[in-house]
Structure 1
């Protein structure tokens, strides 16, 4: 742990004008307030804020940010108040501390809603001052470094999952790649311990079989560039286990087929030398077609600039090479923190746009589940670049469509979209965009977002806006159903019901108007008995039992009393994004949103659905290819047992030496459970391939 004078000296090294007295007061204050509190590791609690402040000095941040890091837990975990902080350290520090402070856990709320509410308030605070995010990321990184001291496996997994889903992508979104990589690695160790250990063991075997290979390749690259008169820095590293595992999962590859396990960086003096070095390497080594990316001419939204290419080394080995200037490298590793100007007027336009989109998502999201889904979609990073006809550049996730583009330009444009031209040609709205596409959106005055768009849009902003518009339309339809049900309820009353009685019922139920009442009835949010009592108090005393029936549903989005079945073509499980197909006189058929049957076109109305809070337990189907050797079937069964999955059906589909292909139906809790099992299978030596059907 940093001592008081060491912390002050660190700040004074890069900011000689820093207020030494202010820093000393903050250090002493956090030590006094946390007192004898201990962390799970047994260390004094104040060691945590001191280490977070140390991380901020590594980024050379201003004194207010350092003080905020020292104080960030005092309001939550001690008797200190924001007013105390403001009195002793000023308004700016108090505002930052208030933004960073972890929110008190509300025990009565479900865990996902607690996480979502924390995220909602955090995003709003972050939009006011991005220093809130920088301190929060450092806070989470240090907590991840000490996560192994927490005894509860469930708590470790919950923190790791939140880190992987929210904080690592946020770090990437603002260009803090060092933070992102370390968070991902530490979270991966907790979430996929079997895969983590397997990949580490295989990397160790590779190291032992070819000692010094990384250094040898780096030297060959440097010598090739030196022969052309270039003085550069070159170093290499193995990709960390999470990066390798992610590539295995995305490309459905076993470990042996992941070829570019090593990555190398080349640092030059100026951008011109970057392109020159790229040319030299492409002449010296064969490069892999389609793997060249130029983030210098077209930087990422977070300011990341570099040239990327993949080369064949010794005819067979693939190595990834990143070429950048030293200045670019510093900015790339620490992103926003490397150049952030703490004046609100100096904020980069790209960051303003990104934050504005996030706040719009917060406003448009209906519940905790949607907020988490849309925010994750907004902050994950694999991106493409597309242009308006006037040349304005928009960065979108890979797989984005013309509808995503329209919503990125403006929410109103997205809502009025009826067609699109891509590079001058009329194309279907579901067409994925490519790098450099010019997109012209065709709009109609009376157009409105279509529910079917949810089947192909990929951005959080588009999904949130579409769902919001659809909900407003569906609300009117549900209210109409409620009005018909109200007539049935009124028939059981001893007196005729007029407008005056309805108005009185609305007031007793503390609703806004009659439409609210009809919607509540149609959506099954209020019982027949409660409606009758609100209209005529005492009228439900002799209500027949068959009249009082619950309209409980296990899937949100279905009208009360409507039945459903889970589609056998895609086997949706809780956690999948789902949609319903509604046909006359039939139950609603629930499909995963990316089901191939939907892509082929269906003659049915689409219904936007989501899983109910208590939804768990469904049958997921996997296609597993095993090596044909003794014990592999037992290995697969062992993976299922270790992950507490019940095998409902196992069928040998193909016997093709040296492989056996099985179709396996598994009873699982939810999508996360099924994903863990699939990942564990892919990391197992007995399994050649494992995919969900």
Structure 2
């Protein structure tokens, strides 16, 4: 072998010895007999066989591993297993040792960690497009032991610290971008806020050098005056809170350079235009039953002292965020006309804000989150922040049950699907046409049926054939609502084409026999032939499963039977137990209706209340619920009086705007004399009304009187009033009311 032996510089030797001494002091007591000897032998063997090489930045791999280990120990809390995995991972990744070798020397736990690091190394070889949340989640799901992710974060922090002066600009740019969009968010999710901020700031420093140093210099220049200002700002607040007898403590924080730069870009302003360079957090020690009262009391004391900016008010007490976050945020005009952000919360709320979903579950007793991965991360965060010596970390393994799977397209894009999703789900995600013509697929190059379930890390390719058509049983194969909706739409279009073809075929055959088709007679023979849906009948005709001649003969038989009965006087039916349903009509088509809430706001999510069923044109108001946004009620809603009395402060003004093109279901209560033909008279009036569809009618009679409900689809409250007047005018109708 003629390769030049790897050599340490004198500076690297000194650093290595110093770090080794510090690590021995920090975790030496957790090492097992023989650990240090094995490590020394493995590293020596790598030297002899020229297996140690500097990376693209010229970094010494042994020194870099020790630096990473020190970060993992001091700033994350890993111990013996984590350190050995960091030092030995390269020998396994490069193929000089096997997982079995590691297992024999250092045990199952170290082997398990390195196995996870190896899986992720192999994942990177696929050159995936990693600028996405999906790749972060796939990375997490691939590392069954959470220490794998922690080691990757520590490694990236160390690399970012060491490459300040490198001349490898392209590689420096690449690792800095990954630190920003991949590792910083992971650190944030794990509660490693210090490392997260460092990764973001170093990324900005390397990617946008001028911006970083401009902000840094301005922060340094203003630090003394900023600290003095904070003291002047909080002094009168302390006096007021003390006088009110509140128990509390305050935190002050300056924004990171990265977050200041993000705000400057978002607001398109200079450094001087970022008025909330720091924030004051007031954390109240209040009993559970007095939390909201004391938060609002604090808010009132501060806004009475300093003028608030109404546009910067955020009330997450009345309606907490979906992740359980509760707090009051306001921005007030402090001394010298400077805006200051103030956050008000209790100890419990601050715990939830700092520990995320994990703390929320502790208070709420909730056992599930937004998915297995989020639950896993939240529990790790709680472990990180609640274990002082963090010895638990070396035994901590995940019980991760994925609720989602992450798969690659042939181009390297990452898509996520619910667990149990199939190749057919993937096909419909790409395009309806791809799904409709899908006959199978390839997973990691191996041919599979479209029923094949997807697993994280799969690379999926779809195989199509032009003559393929969707079938109803496909609805039982797919898991995603998107795929189900597209299949139903395709089936509907197919049914429509089959129906038109079948009707044309029947009309031609009937015309040849010189028979005119009566729709009511045709409807009867369709039912007598055992079809519940007309579409199924026409489908069988189109596919020649049902002989057209058979249909014609059945029709003639039914028609002749009707003619024989035509001389028999059949009395008209009364309203007794009359029922009708029209389930094929869509309840609500695409809406152009708009609600204006609180006089100015449009585009806010709202829900129409089920207690009074408001429709376009009804006088309405909005009610702010705790967890379901704004609900819209009619002014004359039966519950309106009680809502206004008990929750007046949550009532907001609302009015209709837009074109009034939606269809709404309304129900009318009709009472009257049970005269012959009353039902026909009612239904005839409804059927003649323009753009009005009857959805259902249910009427019963007793002792010469009838009562019942009629449900119609209507697009305007004004038309409702007109319909009520017309129905009230029908002979025998005594009362018509909207319910």
TM-score of the two chains, using structure 1 as the length reference: 0.46
Structure with max Cα Rg = 2
TM-score of the two chains, using structure 2 as the length reference: 0.43
